[in-house]
Amino acid sequence: MALKATIFRAEVQIADMERNYYGTHALTLARHPSENDERMMVRVLAFALNAHEGLVFGSSIGNDDEPDLWLKDLTGAIRLWIDVGLPDEKRIRRACGRSGQVVVYSYGRGTDLWWKQSGEKLARSGNLTVIHLPQADTQAIAKFADRNMKLRSMKLFCTIQDGQVWLADQDETVQVEAQTRLAASA
């Protein structure tokens, strides 16, 4: 019997001074059995950093046709494709061909090696942005993934200002030092 996804709920209040975006989003996340708390919380952070009323979570694990998050326009065209982790270079190039803008949030132990192997090739994609999230920061935000999120909606606060990102719950605040490795040219 296949394991089912676990449902988590979070209410995220976003104050993004860089984009002049302020809003509260009730998120429902389906966490695949192979996904850990760190990856799930990086998806939540990616949502907060790109918040938009039309931004939705995709079913990316085990599905090459969908990203972790995406934003489509009214015609169904993909405006924004977001992947987290260390996606395959071929997947990223295909996403760059299908979407107006692609953002990858890389994190984990192998990020430097992944970037060393793929960075030069990926730099040819003009609509690609790669943001590196330090492992200490992603492990710290993983602690927000309280098991009680399944039973009640967890409240998170995200503040973005002057290139700084803070993610907090009622008890703790974590500063995330997001580093741009590649910025889209468009």
Q: What is the pLDDT of residues 32-57, one digit of tens each?
A: 888 899 999 999 999 999 999 999 99
Cα–Cα distance for residue pair 135/108, rounded to 1 Å: 5
**AA identity, residue 175:** Q
75-110 core/surface letters (b: 16 or more CB in 10 A; e: else): eeebebbbbbbbbeeeebbebbeebebbbbbbbbee
Average pLDDT across the chain, whole number: 91
Q: Is the confidence at residue 109, as pLDDT, over 60? A: yes
pLDDT for residue 9: 87
Could you tell me what percentage of the chain is helix, strand and coil, using 3-state DSSP and rounding each to the nearest 5? 25, 35, 40
Q: Say if 1 falls within a structural domain.
A: no
Contact 38, 138 (CB under 8 A): yes
Summarize the confidence of residues 6-18 as an average pLDDT: 92
Q: Is the confidence at residue 2, as pLDDT, over 70? A: no
Q: What is the CATH number of the domain that holds 39?
A: 3.10.640.10
Q: Is the pTM of this model over 0.85?
A: yes
Neighbours of 130 (CB within 10 A): 25
> Which three-class secondary structure string do you get for 102-134?
EEEEECCCCHHHHHHHHHHHHCCCCCEEEEECC
pLDDT for residue 59: 75
Q: Say if 40 falls within a structural domain.
A: yes
Q: Say if 26 falls within a structural domain.
A: yes
Confidence grade of residue 31 (pLDDT, cut at 50, 70, 90): confident
Summarize the confidence of residues 156-171 as an average pLDDT: 93
pLDDT-above-70 percentage for the chain = 91
Q: Say if 21 falls within a structural domain.
A: yes
Query: Tokens in use for 71?
Result: 């934003």
68 CB-near residues (< 8 Å, 6+ apart): 43, 46, 57, 58, 60, 82, 83, 84
pLDDT for residue 5: 79
pLDDT for residue 171: 87
Summarize the confidence of residues 66-75 as an average pLDDT: 95
Q: Is the confidence at residue 149, as pLDDT, over 70? A: no
Q: Say if 178 falls within a structural domain.
A: yes
Q: State the Cα angle at 86 between 81 and 92, rounded to 5°.
A: 40
pLDDT for residue 147: 55
Cα–Cα distance for residue pair 97/94, rounded to 1 Å: 5
Could you give the number of structural domains in the chain?
1
* Residues present in the chain in total: 186
- Structural domain including 150 reads 6-182
